[in-house]
């Protein structure tokens, strides 16, 4: 933690030695690690492996709700139990409420993968933050996200949303106190603790944003989803044995 506060990149998809080195070089104190299609125990285990006295890695889940064609992403921090992907949005939000998780809205109204204004308003009493700057956004997307957050009156955040190692630390949030474990971070989000939002600027930042945007072409292919998720044995499929059929009434696949 520096005079500028406790700096957190609040949503990254990649985590290894190179990511940790880059995060520390960028002056970050924490990362929120939420890879796709990975069960919570595995996310938590990897987060623990790469946490140390200089950098806290907070495990989280970016949940895919609804069908692949109409999926809505929800970022959850402070889960007690694993939650699968591809439940109904209502079923997902009910489960997050049951667990008293901190719930964040990444990239609102972005393409076909995000919560809409109507959905945010419907669940605003269960939502603890709306993302207002994301490197995958184009400028008008960020402007709309800021407008939406103002209209709804929810706390805001930003993140690098790094799917590529070079994007780590391109955007971050600074809190007024150290948040050195998952519980403290989830509490801070639920309580709406004060924070400041930062992102880098300049040609290199624009290049990194462009590379992240281009990465969407692979990230959103049906063939990738079909390979990973349309098998009942996939790690975050609702039919996986780990969930014991608990979500059969709210699954979409």
Q: DSSP string spanning 15-43?
A: -SHHHHHHHHHTT-SEEEE--TT--HHHH
| Main-chain dihedrals φ then ψ at residue 25, nearest 5 degrees | -65, -30
Within 13 Å, how many C-alpha atoms sit on residue 222's CB side? 3
The span from the CA of 115 to the CA of 106, in Å, is 8
Cβ proximity of 169 and 195 under 8 Å: no
Of the candidates 49, 48, 50, the residue with the CA atom closest to the CA atom of residue 21: 50
- Number of neighbouring beta carbons within 10 Å of residue 165: 16
Tell me how many degrees the CA angle 218-16-71 measures, rounded to the nearest 5. Answer: 35
The span from the CA of 215 to the CA of 244, in Å, is 35
By CB atoms closer than 10 A (0-12, 13-18, 19+), residue 58 is buried
253 residues of the chain, pLDDT tens digit each: 777 799 999 999 999 999 999 999 999 999 999 999 999 999 999 999 999 999 999 999 999 999 888 889 999 999 999 999 999 999 999 999 999 999 999 999 987 789 999 999 999 999 999 999 999 998 999 999 999 999 999 999 999 999 999 999 999 999 999 999 999 999 999 999 999 999 999 999 999 999 998 887 666 655 555 655 556 668 899 999 999 999 999 999 8
For residue range 97-110, list pLDDT tens digits in order.
999 999 999 999 98
Which of 3.40.50.720, 3.40.630.30, 3.20.20.140, 3.30.70.260 is the CATH number of 6-243?
A: 3.20.20.140
Whole-prediction pTM value? Answer: 0.94
Cβ proximity of 250 and 86 under 8 Å: no
For residue range 41-60, list pLDDT tens digits in order.
999 999 999 999 999 999 99
The span from the CA of 83 to the CA of 162, in Å, is 22
């Amino acid at each position: 933690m520096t005079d500028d506060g406790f700096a957190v990149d609040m949503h990254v998809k990649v985590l290894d030695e190179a990511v940790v080195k880059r995060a520390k070089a960028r002056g970050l104190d924490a990362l929120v690690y939420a890879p796709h299609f990975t069960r919570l125990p595995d996310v938590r285990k990897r987060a623990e492996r790469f946490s140390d006295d200089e950098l806290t890695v907070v495990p989280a889940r970016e949940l895919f709700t609804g069908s692949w064609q109409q999926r809505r992403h929800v970022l959850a921090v402070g889960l007690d139990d694993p939650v699968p992907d591809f439940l109904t949005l209502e079923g997902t939000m009910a489960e997050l409420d049951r667990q008293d998780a901190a719930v964040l809205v990444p990239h609102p109204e972005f393409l076909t993968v995000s919560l809409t204004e109507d959905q945010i308003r419907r669940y605003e009493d269960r939502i603890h933050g709306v993302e207002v700057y994301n490197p995958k956004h184009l400028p008008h997307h960020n402007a709309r996200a800021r407008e939406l957050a103002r209209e709804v009156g929810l706390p805001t955040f930003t993140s690098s949303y790094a799917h590529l190692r070079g994007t780590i630390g391109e955007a971050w949030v600074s809190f007024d106190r150290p948040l050195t474990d998952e519980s403290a971070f989830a509490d801070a989000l639920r309580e709406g603790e004060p924070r400041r939002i930062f992102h880098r600027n300049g040609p290199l930042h624009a290049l990194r944003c462009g590379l992240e945007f281009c990465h969407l072409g692979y990230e959103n292919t049906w063939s990738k989803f079909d390979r990973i998720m349309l098998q009942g044995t996939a790690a975050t499929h609702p039919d996986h044995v780990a969930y014991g059929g608990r979500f059969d009434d709210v699954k979409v696949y």
